[in-house]
């Protein structure tokens, strides 16, 4: 554990300190914070989601072991893995409801493999002293949050001016960090261009890409759950009829997101056909597989 903490940069230590301090103040200041926290924990660990946690845990465990067997994995990568999991893995998993079609997956892939990731790595690689990081983290967080609140009052021209000003300040600070990072990169290039740093840089995009199948099948599950939940509500259909519809949708939609969306539209908008079609399987085969834009 001590060896792990030695891997943390000044910026990461600062983020941990301020995060713990924030939650400590939140708990002590608000009487209902612990109850609210417990409510959030209960929602996160609802029985329906626990199997997904187990699958994700086993899947990532297997991936790490494959990298270890290939002599790619090293101890220092655990820090990068934990950071990726908390900031990207969990965000992707809990944001699956926002993923509607293949375009959303394409956006994730393009974002993961964009030039921005290189710039972010350079900026994040070079830190200031711990004292400076302890000052910068809350200051930049505060400046970042203010424009969000300012945008909520778009009707007020003064607020809009303040929001634009703060956004410009953040842009200038961002460029400042980037210039500093590039300067340090040129001066200490030998310290930057190492195999260990290459692994650290590649870990987030690689894990995001190998994590996408889990996200894809989670989206599939949610979409199928939505379709069958709508189907279960229909009392005008017999159980045998519902079974035929369900099995036909599973067969013809399979793992195609567009086809599942077609099936959901059929369930919602074509109740008469679902009830009266003599050959329901042929009807679903024809209509579920209708092409649409991704």
Task: Report pLDDT digits (tens) over 30-40.
Answer: 666 666 667 77
Q: What pLDDT score was predicted for residue 294? A: 45
For 197, phi then psi, to 5°, come to: -70, -35
Q: In terms of C-beta distances under 8 Å and separation of at least 24 residues, what long-range contacts does 234-241 make, across chains too? A: 234/271, 234/274, 236/271, 236/275, 237/274, 237/275, 241/274, 241/275, 241/280
Domain extent at residue 276: 234-288
Confidence of residue 48 (pLDDT cuts 50, 70, 90): confident
Residue 77 falls within a domain, yes or no? no
Confidence of residue 119 (pLDDT cuts 50, 70, 90): confident
For 47, phi then psi, to 5°, come to: -55, -35
24-33, 85-94, 241-250: least confidently modelled range = 24-33
When pLDDT is averaged across residues 70-75 and rounded to a whole number, the result is: 92
Residue 10 falls within a domain, yes or no? no
Q: What pLDDT score was predicted for residue 209? A: 95
When pLDDT is averaged across residues 257-285 and rounded to a whole number, the result is: 86
When pLDDT is averaged across residues 144-163 and rounded to a whole number, the result is: 74
Q: What's the sign of the alpha-carbon dihedral 66, 70, 75, 77? A: negative
Total domain count, the chain: 1
Q: What pLDDT score was predicted for residue 14? A: 92
Residue 5 falls within a domain, yes or no? no
Residue 274 falls within a domain, yes or no? yes
Please give the radius of gyration of the chain, using alpha carbons only, rounded to the nearest integer: 25
Q: What angle do CA 235, 239, 245 make, to 5 degrees?
A: 95
Report the alpha-carbon distance of residue 187 to residue 233 in Å, rounded.
67
Q: How many CB atoms lie within 10 A of CB 294?
A: 12
pLDDT over threshold 80, residue 4: no
pLDDT over threshold 80, residue 57: yes
Q: What pLDDT score was predicted for residue 208? A: 95
Confidence of residue 89 (pLDDT cuts 50, 70, 90): very high
Report the alpha-carbon distance of residue 123 to residue 181 in Å, rounded.
5
% of the chain beyond a pLDDT of 90? 35
In whole numbers, what is the pLDDT of the chain averaged over residues? 86
When pLDDT is averaged across residues 17-35 and rounded to a whole number, the result is: 76
Residue 281 falls within a domain, yes or no? yes
Whole-structure pTM value: 0.82
Residue 222 falls within a domain, yes or no? no
Q: What pLDDT score was predicted for residue 77? A: 93
Residue 238 falls within a domain, yes or no? yes
Residue 214 falls within a domain, yes or no? no
pLDDT over threshold 90, residue 218: yes
pLDDT over threshold 80, residue 41: no
When pLDDT is averaged across residues 259-274 and rounded to a whole number, the result is: 88
């Amino acid at each position: 554990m001590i060896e792990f903490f030695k891997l943390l940069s000044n910026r990461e230590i600062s983020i941990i300190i301020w995060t713990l301090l924030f939650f400590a103040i939140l708990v002590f200041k608000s009487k209902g914070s612990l109850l609210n926290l417990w409510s959030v924990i209960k929602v996160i660990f609802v029985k329906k989601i626990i199997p997904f946690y187990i699958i994700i845990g086993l899947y990532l465990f297997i991936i790490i072991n494959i990298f270890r067997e290939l002599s790619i994995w090293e101890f220092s990568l655990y820090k990068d893995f934990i950071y990726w999991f908390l900031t990207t893995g969990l965000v992707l998993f809990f944001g699956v409801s926002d993923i509607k079609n293949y375009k959303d997956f394409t956006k994730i892939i393009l974002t993961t493999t964009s030039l921005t990731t290189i710039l972010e790595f350079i900026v994040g690689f070079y830190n200031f002293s711990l004292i400076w990081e302890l000052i910068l983290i809350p200051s930049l967080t505060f400046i970042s949050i203010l424009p969000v609140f300012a945008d909520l009052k778009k009707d007020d021209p003064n607020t809009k001016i303040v929001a634009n000003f703060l956004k410009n300040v953040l842009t200038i600070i961002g460029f400042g960090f980037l210039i500093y990072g590039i300067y340090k990169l040129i001066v200490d290039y030998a310290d930057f261009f190492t195999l260990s740093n290459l692994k650290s840089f590649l870990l987030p995009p690689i894990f995001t890409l190998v994590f996408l199948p889990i996200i894809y099948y989670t989206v599939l599950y949610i979409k199928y759950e939505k379709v069958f939940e709508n189907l279960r509500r229909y009392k005008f259909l017999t159980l045998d009829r519902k079974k035929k519809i369900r099995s036909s949708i599973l067969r013809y939609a399979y793992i195609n997101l567009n086809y599942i969306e077609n099936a959901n539209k059929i369930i919602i908008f074509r109740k008469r056909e679902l009830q009266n079609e003599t050959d329901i399987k042929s009807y679903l085969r024809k209509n579920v597989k209708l092409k649409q834009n991704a």
